[in-house]
Amino acid sequence: MTVLLAVLALCVLAGLWCIAVYNGLVRTRNIVVEARSGMDVQLKRRADLVPNLVETVKSYMGHERGVLESVTGLRAKIDATADPDSRLAMEGQLGTALSRLFAVAENYPALRASENFLSLQQELAAIEGELQLARRYYNGAVRDFNTRIQSFPANLVAGSLGFTAAPSFEIENPADRDTPKVRFDGGGDS
């Protein structure tokens, strides 16, 4: 009878441990989903700002069509793409295209002096800052989740219940890691 109670107690403890591990995995996975959502909110704010920025710039620099078309084309592709990983890659390309747009805008003093352009530029800079924070939070949440599902003994439960590693946000194009040299004071090289 004592052996039966001991085996039963071990089974109950093992079951409780599995439940605790499962709940912890679900909690950290939900944090990753929340972090991804926060990043998507900032990306949406940036995407909503792009048409206003393009319209403002278009009136000043109509012959810089390639830069404008690149920005608007990428925004349209992002809106049409459902795959989150593909969207993230294109969002990085959009950031690069926006940097090129601002670099070209240096050649237009009237545009740089435009109150509307300056306001949009400041708003975009604020959104980019928030987006950087959201990306760091997301990558931290992914790191914690991936560490949890890969650590022993939780990996025994995670693997059997279908928990898989979440992808971190990474820049696809190594050239995008370089800091763009953009100046709005009219001097220097771009």
Q: For 76-95, how does the pLDDT look when each residue is reduced to its tens digit (9 = 90+)?
A: 888 788 887 777 778 778 87
Kindly state the DSSP code that residue 63 receives in the 8-state scheme: T
Q: For 95-131, how does the pLDDT look when each residue is reduced to its tens digit (9 = 90+)?
A: 777 777 777 777 777 766 677 777 877 888 888 889 8
pLDDT over threshold 60, residue 153: yes
Q: Which domains does the chain have, with CATH numbers?
A: 22-171 (1.20.1440.20)
| Pairwise CA distance, residues 40 & 38, whole Å | 5
The mean pLDDT of 41-70, rounded to a whole number, is 75
Half-sphere exposure of 73 (CA within 13 A, CB side): 8
pLDDT over threshold 50, residue 188: no
| Pairwise CA distance, residues 69 & 81, whole Å | 18
Q: Does pTM surpass 0.85?
A: no
Name residues whose C-beta falls within 8 Å of residue 39's C-beta, 6 or more positions apart in sequence: 131, 134, 135, 137, 138, 169
The mean pLDDT of 25-43, rounded to a whole number, is 91
Band the pLDDT of 190: cuts 50, 70, 90: very low
The mean pLDDT of 17-28, rounded to a whole number, is 92
